Structure 1
Amino acid sequence: MSLTPRRVVREGAFKNIIADGVQVGDTIYLSGQVSVDGEGRTLGASDIAVQVRQAYANVRSVLASFGASMADIVDETLFVTDIDGFLGQADALFALRAEMFGGDPQVSQTLVQVARLGSPDWLIEIKCIARTSAA
């Protein structure tokens, strides 16, 4: 049994198999978010911009469940299946990212190419760590 109190949120489409996020103290660890709706249906199967928008919308939703916001994110990892395709649209995708954050995000970031995500239709998965004063 862990001595560290944890708050776990399980509300997303995959709540039966993974937690959407876990808060320990003032740190929130989000599971990777992808471009799915509440029923687990993929949105934008071949459109990275649609998938970026939906994945960040899911990030925002999970954070809200903890009483946090996009401004609380301090670190993010973007897993993509086609880094060249992503970087080829980087200006537009990073403008979309700034829109989703409500301004220029002040976070550390890692961009990684992977062979495949949980579904062959997923082009991106976003994993974040947030810090908040709400404990």
Structure 2
Amino acid sequence: MSAYKQVIKLNPDPLAAFAISPGWQVGDLIFLSGQAAIDEQGQIVGVDDFDAQLKQVFANIDRVLRAAGSSRDQIVKVTIYLTDMSNFPKIVAARKTYFAPPYPADTTVEVNALALPELMVEIDVIAAA
């Protein structure tokens, strides 16, 4: 017997140009694609401004989770990709702003680059449906 699975759809979908689904619901879990500082029209938000990018990332996470019938308080795991680990203290502060205890499980890594050179942070999420 196969698990229930359904793609999460957005309109407009800023990831469509990259041949990426915003996310999937599989059974009782929701898996989001990495969310970056790209607005609904596909434009980069906050070039050279980490705080503005992080705010847009969480707005995008909220939007995709809402489309799936879930919400940020259902997140159980995040993976955070930073192009500069000196922004890690801002991530710690953001956890306290965007989440409440008990905090999601977390992995944070520094990468050389993200999909577009202007991007400074990307977060992928696993949440309960």
Question: So what's the TM-score if we normalise by structure 1?
Answer: 0.85
Instruction: State the 1:104 CA deviation.
Output: 4.2
Is 13-22 or 108-117 further displaced after alignment? 13-22
Which runs of at least 4 in structure 1 moved beyond 2 Å after TM superposition?
2-5, 92-101
Q: Which runs of 5+ in 1 are unaligned?
A: none
Distance 1:79 1:100 in 2: 17
Structure 2 residue runs without a partner (length 5+):
none
Matches for 1:45-124 after TM superposition, within 5 Å:
45-83=47-85, 85-87=86-88, 90=89, 92-101=90-99, 103-104=100-101, 106-124=103-121
User: Which 10-residue stretch deviates more, 45-54 or 7-16?
Assistant: 7-16
- 1:121 shift after superposition: 0.3
The CA distance in 2 between the partners of 1:96 and 1:56, in whole Å, is: 10
Task: Work out whether residues 10 and 18 of structure 1, in 8 Å CA contact, stay in contact via their aligned partners in 2.
Answer: no
Separation in 1, partners of 2:48, 2:95: 18
DSSP 3-state at the match of 2:65: helix
Corresponding residue of 1:3: 2
Q: For 1:74-97, what per-residue CA distance to the aligned partner results, in whole angstroms no more than 9, with x for missing partners?
A: 0000001111x213xx1x443334
- Asked if 1:129 is matched to 2:126, the reply is yes
Cross-structure match for 1:28? 30
Question: Given residue 99 of structure 1, which amino acid in structure 2 is its aligned partner?
Answer: T
- Contact 1:49/1:93 (CA < 8 Å) preserved in 2? no
Amino acid at match of 2:4: P
Pairwise CA distance, 1:3: 3.1
Identical amino acids, percent of aligned pairs: 33
Distance 2:105 2:91 in 1: 17
* Aligned CA-pair RMSD: 1.7
Letter in structure 2 aligned against 1:111: T
Count of residue correspondences = 126
Q: Secondary structure at the match of 1:127?
A: strand
Other-structure match for 1:13: 14
Shift of 1:100: 2.6
